[in-house]
Structure 1
Amino acid sequence: MFVFGSGKKGTRPMEPLQRLIQDAATGEIKADRACLLILGTDDETRRQLVSSVESTGHVCLVTDSIDEARSIIEAHDAIDAMLIDGTSSDRESLRLIREAQSLRPWVRSMVWSSKLDPSLTVEAIREGASDFLVLPGDMDRLDARLDQILDRVRAARDNEKRMNNLLDTCRQLTESRDEMSEQVDVLCNDLASAYRSMRDQMSDAVIVSEFKTLISQELDVEDMLRTALEYMLRRLGPTNAVVYLPEAEGRFGIGAYVNYDMTDRDPMPLYRALGDTLCQSLKNESGLVRYEDGEAWARANEIDADALKDAELIAFACKHHGETLAIMTFFRDSSFDDSTAGLLDSLRNELGSQLGRIVRIHRRGQAEWPREQAEDNDNSNGFEFPDDSSEWGDMAA
């Protein structure tokens, strides 16, 4: 018996509950025995209860303080059942039954009184008591009733243990599911990214193959540029375009252009200004250049900024074996898609290769580009080829 809080003469001081658990683990107290908390103020009744309970091998913790009993229940989960004097503290001790079960769901309680009191019995049952005893009259039936209650306690503890194990398993499964879900999401994203990349590559390959097939049929510069611009503009959408061809060492002239939205003015001054600025900087440039603020770029290069207001500009060189054979620029007042750069980069390589092929074919027979009689063109397709170009211009006239 472990006595709490009474401090009366002849009682042993309380030993820590941890010592009780240690004793159970070492075999001094059988681990399958129950631990009961006895709360009451009548010393004789408590003594009889302790004697009867401990004779069956159970362990008793005894106190006359409701607060101390509450502290024991809150601090430890070793309590299996409570024996409570229902008449102590104006029946306040009955409140402890529900409090104990809210903290330790397996705890069961027996309430005793010195006389049969129907109102006390009903109140005790409402608070969650499992049994009611009239002591000392029911002392001879205490063991049997206590065994019934402890059977319920063991079942409740088993249920609580199974529930905790189930909750632990659910948490582990949830964590595993979340981890697996994250891995699946990462894998799906990787697969989707790989699919998009492969799709884009296949799409680009189809476009490049189609473009190459179209322009490879043309051995005339004018026809080839017309075919190339038609195809590019179908992919890019409506836009202004200018093609600059080399005329002499370090000098470029306008070979072809598409006037999309400058119908209210003469576009040639702007085209020439763009050529003077872009061609010298791009003839040795290997990549594409993009100016999202065309107006600011024009102002910085002393070009008519109003003509490029709200415009975005892309320019690049078409090369063959390191030789710049054309410089192209596209500009409009709406933004280009991010995929445009990759598309143009693929197409310009094929365009440069075809220009190189045309140059090679014509150079085989003569040292300079043949001058052909200009043919009448109705320009109904929107492409224009200036008449004032030399060499490349004659081919494109």
Structure 2
Amino acid sequence: MNFEPEMHETNATPTNHAGSSVFRVLVCASRPEMIALTALLEASDGRCRCIVSNDVDEFRGRLLEDRCEVVLVAEEDLDRSLAEDFRRLQPHGSLVVAAPTVDVDGMRRAMQFGATDFLSGPMSAEEVERRIEGAGRRSRERIEHEERMHRLRSLSRRLEGETRPTDVIEQATAAEPSPAGPATDETSAMSIEGDSDQVRKLDEVAMCSEFRTLIRQELDVEDLLRTALEYLLVKTGPTNAAVYLAGGDDSFGLGAYVNCDLPRKSVEPMLRRLCDEACPAVAEHVDVLRFEDSNEFVSDCELGPEVSEDLEMVAVPCHHDGECFAVMFLFRDGQQGFEDETAQVLGALRSILAEQLATLIRVHNRLENNWPDAPADEETDEDLGWDDLAA
């Protein structure tokens, strides 16, 4: 099977933290485990500077006075009121919760309050430092995102202020023909094109912010995929879509399927081949891909007569921190096809989906207890032999 990167990533500029020095960590050291964590951080190589509060009241005051990348608080001290104060006073900070032990309910409660990580059990100084630095980097990425959005908004307002009303331009053009002629027309066209590009960037920033807000509310992988696909289909238009989640040993499992005009049973052989053959190949790419030989691929799957062989298919690898967490396939009738704008939408949103999947997987994998067993779908997963969802 051939894959041709005909669609390209539009939001692939990596965030550079090379210039970062010290992460500021606000600690509520009201309990023994928090005092121990503070000692571990202070014994690190100096990448973390701790601002220590001895009780919750002092901690609330520090939230107002000090701007920090990471806020570290004990699970027993965290309640809804404190979480709301944190979000209001430290909107770009990362909340890290700590406890000697943790169960599923405690983890879910912390995530509902906005925690990005949960520290539990005995940990080395290196592990504590690595986790806190990771939370700090995520805070700085949010700050850089807000700064980019602010710059784009300011530029847009400036461009709007410099734009003359259409009727004034038409009157001036009629009264004074430009001697430059074609050169002036070319300059005007370039200006209009530049304005349009800025508008597209603003729309993309707004779309990404909306998508990130939506999926961050989902604490379950199944709910996350459902919400993400619903949002994507609003942006891409009606299409069939399958999402495969990465598992161990370079394997993949079907996480979700959306039926536009092709019921799942009618395309089961194709879904299996996508899982077994296409996913490992697509995961090695960084671009949004269009199947070069989709007609031949569909024909080889020997689907029923109700499925047209004239399907256009797009593959979307979802990477975060160099790891592929999911692969999406979108396919619909070749007469409709996928426009270039679809690649821009998919390119902008896929990294956000991968980041949220990584967050759920990272947090839940740190539980001391295993995930509760999910009920199996005997009619589908057992027949097709797909693995359980990665977690």
Instruction: Give the structure-1-normalised TM-score.
Output: 0.48
Instruction: Give the structure-2-normalised TM-score.
Output: 0.49
**Which entry has the higher C-alpha Rg, 1 or 2?**
1
Which structure has the higher relative contact order (CA within 8 Å, separation 6+)? 2
